[in-house]
Amino acid sequence: MKSDPKDCIYCQNNDALHNIMIEVAQLGVSRLFLFKEQTYHGRCLVAYKDHVNDLNELSDEERNAFMADVVHVTRAMQKAFNPEKINYGAYSDKLSHLHFHLVPKYVNGPDYGGTFQMNPGKVHLTELGYQKIIDAIKANL
């Protein structure tokens, strides 16, 4: 499914986006967001700066730059939170804007050894709680 930028929460930068995520930083060719739902401590999302439906639509140079942003963020997450593993999810069935979910997984934590849940709806933080996570990520970017 190819989506129209007029219907895309990333392109519109609207309340639908800001109700579920907090923008953390502008990267080389993408934007970094922190999920407000924090069942997976430190869960982020990296969205490509332009409305692209799929990774295969990028040139090799654009793809490499996007993946460099993804790796840059996961390295910062690793330093900030020391998860056992970071899961990557690139699902675009309902919203075709190139983005990667970056989900830290911890031994004995939620869904360790399995697939992360898209929106478990269990853990929401205070503004200070979100800010501490954002500060930890930014300190390592």
DSSP three-state, residue 133: helix
pLDDT in tens, 11-24: 999 999 999 999 99
Handedness of CA 81, 105, 44, 66 (dihedral sign): positive
One DSSP character per residue, 74-115 reads HHHHHHHH--SEEEEE---SS--S-EEEEEEE-TTSTTTTSP
Question: Residue 92 pLDDT > 90, yes or no?
Answer: no
* Predicted TM-score of the model (pTM): 0.95
Where does residue 13 fall: left (phi above 0), alpha (psi -120 to 50 degrees), or beta otherwise?
Answer: left
pLDDT in tens, 6-63: 889 999 999 999 999 999 999 999 999 999 999 999 999 999 999 999 999 999 999 9
Contacts of 70 (CB under 8 A, 6+ apart): 30, 46, 88, 100, 102
- Its domain, for residue 33, covers 5-140
DSSP three-state, residue 20: coil
Number of domain units in the chain: 1
Find, among 132, 89, 70, 82, the residue nearest to 107 by Cα: 82
Percentage of the residues of the chain whose pLDDT score is greater than 90: 88
Distance CA(52)–CA(43), nearest Å, equals 22
Domain with residue 39: its CATH number is: 3.30.428.10
DSSP three-state, residue 68: helix
